[in-house]
Amino acid sequence: MRPNPLALAMLAGTVFAAGACVSSDQDTVIVILQNNPPADGCLSNVDTSAAFIARGIVDTNSPNGYMLSPIVTNTASTTNSTTSQLYLLEGADITLTPQSGFFTDGELAELDMANQLSFSQRFSGVVEPDGGITFMVFEIIGTPFLDAVAAKLPADGTKLQVKASIQIFGQLHGGELKSQKFGYWVDVCNGCLAPVDLGTCDSVPDGYVAGQGSCWGLQDSAVECCTDASGATICPATGPASGT
């Protein structure tokens, strides 16, 4: 069973990188590096060299909104420092800008009043200094926004482009400090990430690597499924040899 995405909102893994330098610009002390997919088992992934998700996609039928899983680094140095350089995470500010012309001015106003275009997510955790890296998960597009898109977007593969601006905020040695604004594009579709039926599991080639889907719902990739001899649906699909 996949874990609840909100329960993983601060499953933070921390690593240390040597040689991190301190910038004089405050918005480059705490830096959002990239959007990492979770590791196998939906666990934290702080690998800066791993393949990351450069652009997201989410289906309006997803049980959750779009979950971002970024890694964040703290470049503050403890060398010659007399104060703590531990960064205390408090949350993130998110602003969404849908593709121009899709929503009317009235619809945009309603979404804004419902806190679906500009809002904050609250969570806690730490980012160690000297290049420490923390993995986190939080929602940047809510299900009410997806419902509003679903009411207008045809189920023909058309996608709505949404630009998200994300800025982490927290405390560093007693003062408020924010990250840079991290721009991230998400395509919203209606039905494009529905599970793919590969037929019977016996027909799946031995060694075939099926689409895994996402830990968080219908986002970023579709899951491929098959039907076993008992009639049960197996997701992700496995061939006859690996499924026994």
Report pLDDT digits (tens) over 103-140: 999 999 999 999 999 999 999 999 999 999 999 999 99
240 found inside a domain: no
Provide the 10 A C-beta neighbour count for residue 4.
Answer: 12
User: Do both 206 and 179 map to the same domain?
Assistant: no
CA atoms within 13 A on the CB side of 18: 0
User: Do both 142 and 200 map to the same domain?
Assistant: no
21 found inside a domain: yes
Q: What average pLDDT does the segment 65-76 reach?
A: 97
95 found inside a domain: yes
Among 15-24, 145-154, 159-168, the minimum mean pLDDT is found in 15-24
Which residues contact residue 174 at a Cβ distance below 8 angstroms, ignoring those fewer than 6 apart?
A: none
pLDDT band at 239 (very low <50, low <70, confident <90, very high): confident
The mean pLDDT of the chain is 88
Q: Taking a C-beta distance cutoff of 8 angstroms, is the pair 53, 219 a contact?
A: no
What's the pLDDT score for residue 134?
97
241 found inside a domain: no
**8 pLDDT more than 70:** no
223 found inside a domain: yes
163 found inside a domain: yes
User: Do both 67 and 146 map to the same domain?
Assistant: yes
pLDDT tens-digit map of 81-113? 878 899 999 999 999 999 999 999 999 999 999
Instruction: State what percent of residues in the chain have pLDDT above 70.
Output: 87
152 found inside a domain: yes
pTM given for the model: 0.83
pLDDT tens-digit map of 226-237? 999 999 999 889
User: Do both 133 and 228 map to the same domain?
Assistant: no
What's the pLDDT score for residue 150?
97
Domain range enclosing 203: 196-234
User: Do both 212 and 129 map to the same domain?
Assistant: no
Q: Which residues of 57-77 are buried (b: 16+ CB within 10 A; e: fewer)?
A: bbbbbbebbbbbbbbbbbbbe
What's the pLDDT score for residue 130?
95
Q: Taking a C-beta distance cutoff of 8 angstroms, is the pair 98, 109 a contact?
A: no
Final residue belonging to a domain, choices 156, 171, 189: 189
User: Do both 25 and 143 map to the same domain?
Assistant: yes
User: Do both 134 and 27 map to the same domain?
Assistant: yes
C-alpha to C-alpha distance for 114 and 145, rounded to whole angstroms: 9
Q: Look up residue 194 and give its DSSP letter.
A: P
User: Do both 27 and 95 map to the same domain?
Assistant: yes
- Give the residue, 16 or 45, on which the prediction is more confident: 45
- Identify the residue whose tokens are 């904050």: 120
User: Do both 183 and 214 map to the same domain?
Assistant: no
The tally of domains found in the chain comes to 2
User: Do both 108 and 228 map to the same domain?
Assistant: no
Q: Which residues of 101-135 are buried (b: 16+ CB within 10 A; e: fewer)?
A: ebbeeeebeebeeeebbebebebebbbbbbbbbbb
pLDDT tens-digit map of 178-210? 999 999 999 999 999 988 999 999 999 988 888
C-alpha to C-alpha distance for 67 and 55, rounded to whole angstroms: 12
239 found inside a domain: no
User: Do both 81 and 114 map to the same domain?
Assistant: yes
User: Do both 43 and 92 map to the same domain?
Assistant: yes
